[in-house]
Amino acid sequence: MATVLVVDDEPQIRTSLRGILAEEGLRVLEAADGRQALDVIQRENPELVILDIWMPDIDGLQVLQQLHGDQPAPAVIMISGHGNIEAAVKATKLGAFDFIEKPFSLDGLLRVVNRALDHHAAVRRRSEATVASDDVAAPAESLEHAGALSPRSAPARWGERTIGRSMVASGHGLHSGVKTGLILQPLPPGSGIQFTSLSTDETVPAYIDWVDSTGYATTLHRNGVTAKTVEHLLATLHAYGITNLLVKMQAEIPVMDGSAAEFCRLIESAGVVDQGGSIEEIVIHQQILISKDNGESISIEPADVFGISYRLEYPHPVGTQEYTYIHHGAESFRDEIAPARTFGFLREMKQLASMGLANGGRLDNCILIDEEKVVNTALRFPDEFARHKILDIMGDTYLLGRPLRGMITARKTGHSDNIALLREIKRTMGLS
């Protein structure tokens, strides 16, 4: 029987939570303040602590900070009636498993409690078995078969994966301009990639059916939950083979420096955990083509690997750029594609701003181009713009929910073309 400590200075909250958790077969302890909580934790060594942030004398964040170095530390769920993404990010940096707002639903609370207890048990098992949790190689089957598979062969099965611990990042939304944050949390096998916010129990899956818009970025929406600018994070999850993850955010994924490099660092810092289950890759057996009269086109055809070839054609000073990327795992993505940044023309900024877009575009989070040159930075690659388009495609293709085997060739395309190709793949192959 797992032990849960409820820490809150409101007696009615403690009583309510005790009743709910006891009915689930858990042993429930209580503490009315931070000092009492630290004493109970030292004596009883609970598996889980449900901890209010706002308490007199020692607040919840101070308690959490003192627990941070304990081994083995209990899992901690922070609760607050005045939640915001900044507080959630701070709590997660201090080691909290999750952060939920009052009032919370019974079902939502129990889901978080069960995930926290499962995660705590998994961490303890890994620690006892001295199994390293920071392996960041690509899924083993993808490496073993790369270059050796026939496009007509049976689909390979990829191991299900999540991250080893919760991670956080903060920044600004590229299109909203709002300061925002990001919390990544492990999920059990079969969960998929899910986006949510602090203020709801609803989630929107990272799946093609929930794409809401593709204007300058990919946006998902379901049941009141909106996740904007998801492509750079999804590209990173695709590259590292992460199949199960909860992403908590505030409407828009932070743009960071305009690339996926920081997301790579987050995943590598968290560690990648193999979960035992597996999912089947999607194998392309015939060419599927989307084209337009203006020369835009994107297609996928049978191949032994997953790869993307992109041809970018812009007026001076960009010109024509081409790059071909063959995915050989996380390292190839991290070195070749992830550092490539979002770019835009100064002449377009006023138009985007009038549309409510690119309000977060700053000198340090995108490449700005005037009529003659790049004006705010040095390029990381001579063909950085083409590589960034590949980054976007790699993120969008993960909205099929599974790894893909086939070669994508694109010319002058954007997010709407990427999503059109995915929908045609889904229709042609009868995917559910």
Catalytic annotation, residues: 415
**Taking a C-beta distance cutoff of 8 angstroms, is the pair 273, 242 a contact?**
no
Please give the DSSP secondary-structure letter assigned to residue 399.
G
Element (H, E) at 416: helix 415-429
Element (H, E) at 392: helix 384-397
End-to-end CA, the chain: 39
Please give the DSSP secondary-structure letter assigned to residue 137.
P
Residues 6+ apart with CB under 8 A from 293: none
How distant, in Å, are the alpha carbons of 191, 269, 289, 373, 394 from that of 261?
25, 12, 31, 24, 14
Distance of CA 132 to the CA centre of its chain: 22
Give CA angle at 389 (386, 391), nearest 5°. 115
SS3 323: strand
Element (H, E) at 368: strand 367-369
